[in-house]
């Protein structure tokens, strides 16, 4: 199974608005991949939330998310990015990917998200996304811009 996750910062505070915090997130994501032997087929890091496709394999994806949140908390404190601030909303949103069409819609949604929120005009301009991997693999053209009508049921909460 594959799950589409949205993990949001407390009160939509923009903790991930710089290269340092985004690089920490990427490093922790890679640690979680190795630790839990799971895959993250698509992802995007935005200033106040993260979208992920997670293929947990034998792992419990909720434990992966919990470990990820805890690791980010520790790294941010260690790097003096936060002191005692609450970084995350208590819960996260999830959607079970139902089939190949749904998978494609989720991937498009993830990659279009920086455009949707007005950070860039084209997904290739957003560095912190798996979009570039998909271009390299031939799934997208570099100038793909998606569309505002991409919908994943429940994703309006991002």
Which is catalytic among the residues 128, 134, 140, 157?
A: 128
Average pLDDT, the chain: 90
What domains appear along the chain, each with residue ranges and CATH number? 3-157 (3.30.70.1290)
Q: Does residue 150 carry a pLDDT above 90?
A: no
Q: Does residue 40 carry a pLDDT above 90?
A: yes
pLDDT in tens, 88-140: 998 899 999 999 999 999 999 999 999 999 999 999 999 999 999 999 999 99
Question: What pLDDT is stored for residue 86 in this prediction?
Answer: 86
Q: Does residue 147 carry a pLDDT above 80?
A: no
* Separation between Cα atoms, residue 47 and residue 147, nearest integer Å: 21
The vertex-68 CA angle with 66 and 69, nearest 5°, equals: 65
Say which residues have a Cβ less than 8 Å from residue 89's Cβ, sequence separation at least 6: 7, 8, 9, 10
How many Cβ atoms from other residues are within 10 Å of residue 74's Cβ? 11
- 8 Å CB contact between 152 and 118: no
* Separation between Cα atoms, residue 27 and residue 138, nearest integer Å: 25
How many Cβ atoms from other residues are within 10 Å of residue 98's Cβ? 13
Question: What pLDDT is stored for residue 149 in this prediction?
Answer: 60
Written in H, E and C, the secondary structure of 55-121 is: ECCCCCHHHHHHHHHHHHHHHHHHCCCCCCCCCECCCCEEEECCCHHHHHHHHHHHHHHHHHCCCCC
User: Sheet harboring 39-45: ordered strands across?
Assistant: 39-45, 49-55, 3-8, 93-96
Both tokens of residue 111? 């990659």
128 annotated active-site: yes
Give the mean model confidence (pLDDT) for residues 67-92.
Answer: 87
Q: Does residue 157 carry a pLDDT above 60?
A: no
């Amino acid at each position: 199974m594959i799950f589409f996750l949205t993990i949001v910062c407390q009160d939509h505070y923009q903790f991930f608005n710089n290269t340092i915090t985004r690089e920490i997130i990427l490093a922790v994501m890679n640690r979680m991949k190795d630790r839990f032997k799971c895959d993250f087929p698509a992802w995007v890091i935005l200033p106040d939330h993260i979208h992920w496709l997670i293929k947990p394999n034998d792992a419990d994806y909720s434990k992966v998310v919990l470990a990820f949140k805890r690791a980010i908390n520790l790294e941010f404190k260690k790097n003096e990015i936060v002191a005692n601030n609450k970084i995350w909303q208590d819960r996260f949103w999830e959607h079970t990917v139902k089939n190949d069409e749904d998978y494609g819609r989720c991937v498009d949604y993830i990659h279009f998200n920086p455009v949707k929120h007005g950070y860039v005009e084209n997904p290739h301009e957003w560095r912190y996304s798996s979009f570039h991997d998909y271009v390299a693999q031939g799934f997208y053209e570099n100038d793909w811009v998606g569309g505002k009508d991409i919908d994943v049921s429940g994703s309006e909460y991002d």
